[in-house]
């Protein structure tokens, strides 16, 4: 189930940078020039679709290891509230290191490992998010959500009194996480979202989907870029890899468990 295609990944819609026939007709060009532009447009679109199909077929031959991600999502779903941002950020820290290691040159002075050491320029989660954002290593909106989780982690880990953070889940960085639950309300399967859900439940659900999308893009985003493909079109389009369905299914199951709804055809998150 590709519920909301992992949230904001679909927000750009199908329009993208495409030109319609109407837009071409409106240009101040000769009929020959318009026809040539239309031919070129159709050719490039067909070539892109073919390249994406080949890319997806190759990914579909591989398996995506979700063992660690499932464990993290299970903890996000069930553990004490303070644990949620801490576990999510620990996982994000590790995944971002793997992503950046994958694009950093092997011959970097001092060695690639030195980038991530105690005094390295990529030693902290904040630094890894910033560099990943600057070099478009993952979707920028996803990285912004990871930074919000980082801020939430720092805030909650420095407060010993739960009464002091009674409004923690409805204000500040947490409140600005992408509201995936609003998108999910459109689906009958999530009728439980029509009821009043607590800020903590919302936080858990938003974190689940952010972590799921992180795992998906960490395995696919740079590979799409290396092929010269638009990662959004390759990863979230109609011909998306089966990994998207697997990741989404995991997130859906965790969402239903968070809402104490019974998942259909449930697969263990262990």
Query: How is domain 3-11+65-258 classified at the CATH fold level?
Result: 1.20.120
pTM of structure? 0.81
Distance from the first to the final alpha carbon of the chain: 20
**pLDDT at residue 43 in the model:** 61
Compute mean pLDDT per 10 residues along the chain, 270 residues long, and list them.
Answer: 46 42 75 74 76 95 97 94 93 96 83 80 93 96 97 83 67 88 77 74 94 98 95 92 96 91 57
**Helix count (H) and strand count (E) of the chain?**
11, 0
Contact (Cβ atoms closer than 8 angstroms) between residue 218 and residue 102: no
The answer for residues whose C-beta is within 8 angstroms of residue 207's C-beta and 6 or more apart is 76, 84, 85, 88, 149, 177
**pLDDT at residue 171 in the model:** 79
**pLDDT at residue 2 in the model:** 47
Domain residue spans of the chain: 3-11+65-258
**pLDDT at residue 11 in the model:** 38
């Amino acid at each position: 189930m590709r519920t909301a295609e992992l949230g904001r990944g679909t927000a750009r819609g199908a329009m993208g940078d495409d030109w319609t026939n109407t837009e071409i007709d409106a240009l101040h060009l000769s009929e020959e020039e318009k026809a040539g532009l239309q031919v070129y447009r159709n050719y490039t679109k067909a070539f892109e679709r073919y390249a994406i199909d080949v890319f997806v077929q190759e990914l579909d031959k591989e398996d995506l290891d979700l063992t660690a991600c499932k464990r993290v999502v299970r903890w996000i779903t069930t553990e004490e509230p303070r644990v949620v941002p801490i576990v999510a950020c620990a996982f994000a820290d590790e995944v971002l290191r793997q992503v950046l290691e994958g694009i950093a040159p092997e011959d970097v002075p001092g060695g690639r490992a030195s980038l991530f050491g105690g005094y390295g320029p990529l030693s902290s989660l904040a630094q890894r998010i910033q560099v990943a954002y600057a070099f478009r290593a993952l979707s920028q909106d996803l990285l912004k959500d990871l930074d919000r989780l980082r801020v939430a982690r720092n805030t909650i880990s420095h407060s010993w009194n739960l009464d002091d953070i009674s409004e923690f889940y409805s204000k500040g960085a947490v409140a600005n996480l992408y509201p995936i639950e609003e998108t999910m309300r459109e689906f009958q399967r999530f009728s439980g979202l029509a009821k009043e859900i607590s800020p903590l439940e919302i936080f858990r659900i938003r974190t689940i989907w952010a972590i799921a999308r992180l795992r998906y893009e960490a395995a696919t985003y740079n590979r799409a870029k290396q092929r010269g493909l638009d990662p959004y079109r390759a990863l979230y389009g109609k011909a998306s890899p089966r990994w998207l369905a697997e990741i989404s299914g995991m997130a859906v199951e965790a969402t239903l468990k968070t809402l104490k709804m019974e998942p259909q055809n449930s697969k263990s998150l262990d």
